[in-house]
Structure 1
């Protein structure tokens, strides 16, 4: 990781009282070290680096790239792949990456509070009528009575880091179920793989995870699905964000990027949110996504997981501003963020339709 990014990370860890332990270097390092993103010097396409995770949820970005939508906007896009959400925000703040597409976290909000980042669009949203994140119980905990999220009080739950989206979802479930979050024993594991291992072995009682992993664990008899986050906390899970410098100094480039991204979302929604409507189109899109997701598996093994991971993405990247505001307040109430800012300091609504905007 570049030196400036390490300095930003160190500041993030202590900023606003947030203790964020990102763990191993593998979590911090991108899959490859991108060149510094800048406008093309030869009059050609503008170079743009996108920080992403190799999940089906990132598919609209991959679709926009593979179908030439970024090229249509005069953008030369490269991807930098990460293993966690918070390092993407650090990379954008340091100038190594231009755009990110990951979950909102306490670390993200701390960097945004310091003036480094702006939320410019919506992406994955938990909605009542579409599978999103599942709540699972270990087999041991399930047999002992942990059969619904309402029973999580008194049990342990694996998360990646303090301040992660998993932490937030646990808090929203506890609130909806009527007990304090302190009654859940949160166990930071740094990586999703470690969370899964701890659940399967019974070291933790529960965890929250995306649907393709949840279904695979349940089907294999390794854990039990006991509920879905959308029943407790419909919310704006992931967003599109960029640096404050980009929105201030290169708004036309941001607009071009968003237009291409919106075209990718439209294609994704037309196929992956109703996969049975056109099996041939579903197969074609799944093969496109497979170039980025589960690349270590043959297509016939990867396809079911890719398709099961097709979460709901907001049409035209619409942004639920009210929910972003609610998340900021929640992290502040938990003592994980300073209280000297609100959502208006970190959201730029010029580029997509904003809805649920607070008065």
Structure 2
């Protein structure tokens, strides 16, 4: 859902982007389609007659979802405006185009998954992580009621036993290669199951498409971030398989899911701007951590007008514990992501975290 205060217009991309796309790590299918989901949103957060004198900063965001809760709070509460910044937000439909926009210089910051940082590194490009947006895994897996009954899976069963029983099922993630896909792939592998042989993991699109596929039986299991698993559970269409948002799978308890990225050269040339952006972001983190979930849900509800109030509250309650108040990046959380992407075959060489992330710009 777009901010009700914003306006949408296409973003123009020059030769620099085209050159970057030709040389990038992004699959061919992304290169021809990424503009479809790319939106340019100008966000007048608080009326201010001095806007013309304020610098404009472009930030990309991988998806329009509450997995980036502190950013919605910072927007709603006017924290970027407080820093003298006019925010222009680009929202894409899944990670990939956002990273390309950052690499090409079309944006200077990108809120995305830590896995995106690892994918660019594996492709030979080093970006810089500067802020912890969501510091734990919140990708939940749920299973259709009918499939659970057939396989003898109950909510009270130990999670490893539940996973061992999903052989022969079809799992729906947002798209092949996405974070939701990687988590499902990892958990299946942990249970000794092979993708394409023992289980089938498919890309089914957005959360609404996944819910429809689950309801009609086209998929047995859904791997998604809140609020979509919570919606299916509330409607009685599914039971929980792995509740990562509640820390149910120990190996994913240290998993720094979402980060804010910039280019190393931009950070070096514009340290003051980076600090101003991060002051606004960290205020968002702290406000989420310090306030009741009901108040947080109320503040961000204007961005999610089509989401029922009870589902929005449940989503905020699921994500709130994952928001680190000071926004600091932790090595344990980063290594947790590395473990998943290494197990899945995405990362094969040592990861120089000291070059890829820093806390030096945080307040």
1:204-240 alpha-carbon deviations (Å, 9 max, x no partner)? 2212122322121122233332231222111111112
Q: Which residue of 1 aligns with 2:248?
A: 231
For the 8 Å contact 1:69–1:260, the answer to whether it is kept is yes
Secondary structure of the residue aligned to 1:59 is helix
> 2-side partners of 1:23 and 1:112: how far apart?
19
* Alpha-carbon distance in 2 for matches of 1:189, 1:252: 42
Q: Deviations over 1:62-82 (max 9, x none)?
A: 322332322232222122222
Consecutive unaligned residues in structure 2, runs of 5 or more: 1-10, 44-50, 154-161
Contact 1:13 1:20 (8 Å CA) reproduced: no
Is 1:251 matched with 2:261?
no
2:130 paired with 1:120 = yes
Match of 2:110 in 1: 100
Does the CA-based 8 Å contact 1:290-1:302 persist in structure 2? no
Q: 1:316 maps to which residue?
A: 326
Query: For residues 68 and 335 of structure 2, what CA distance do their matches in structure 1 show?
Result: 23
**Inter-partner Cα distance in structure 1 for 2:130 and 2:323:** 15
- Distance between the aligned counterparts of 1:149 and 1:125, measured in 2? 24
SS at match of 1:335: coil
In 2, Cα distance between equivalents of 1:323 and 1:181? 26
1:56 corresponds, among 42, 66, 69, to: 66
Displacement of 1:176 in angstroms is 4.7
Structure 1 unaligned blocks of 5 or more: 36-41, 276-281, 354-359
When residues 315 and 28 of structure 1 are mapped into structure 2, their CA distance, relative to the original with a 3 A threshold, is farther
Query: What is the rounded CA distance, in whole Å, between the counterparts of 1:231 and 1:253 in structure 2?
Result: 39
| Structure 2 residue aligned with 1:306 | 312
- 1:187 paired to 2:202: yes
Deviation at 1:13, TM superposition (A): 4.5
Task: Show the 5 A alignment for 1:21-100.
Answer: 21-22=29-30, 25=33, 28-32=36-40, 44-52=53-61, 53-100=63-110
Partner of 1:38: none
- SS for the counterpart of 2:71 is helix
Match of 2:157 in 1: none
TM-score, normalised to structure 2, is 0.77
Show the counterpart of 1:110: 119
**Cα offsets for 1:256-295 (capped at 9, x unmatched):** 1111111111111122xx43xxxxxx34x43431222x23
TM-score (norm 1): 0.77
Mapped partners of 2:41, 2:91: distance in 1? 9
Asked if structure 2 preserves the Cα contact closer than 8 Å seen for 1:122 and 1:236, the reply is: yes
CA contact (8 A) 2:185 2:201 kept: no
**SS at 2:346's partner residue?**
coil
CA distance, structure 2, for counterparts of residue 10 and residue 325 of structure 1: 30
Tell whether the 8 Å contact from 1:125 to 1:314 is kept in structure 2 after alignment.
yes
Q: Retained in 2: the 8 A contact 1:156–1:184?
A: yes
2:151 aligns with: 145
Shifted more, 200-209 versus 256-265: the winner is 200-209
> Pairwise mapping of residues 226-305 of structure 1 onto structure 2 (< 5 A)?
226-229=241-244, 230-232=247-249, 233-234=252-253, 235-271=255-291, 274-275=292-293, 282-283=294-295, 285-292=296-303, 294-295=304-305, 297=306, 302-305=308-311
Number of residue pairs the alignment of both structures matches: 324
Decide whether the 8 Å contact of 1:135 with 1:207 is kept in 2.
Answer: yes
Alpha-carbon distance in 1 for matches of 2:191, 2:336: 18
- Contact kept, 8 Å, 1:34 with 1:96, in 2: the verdict is no
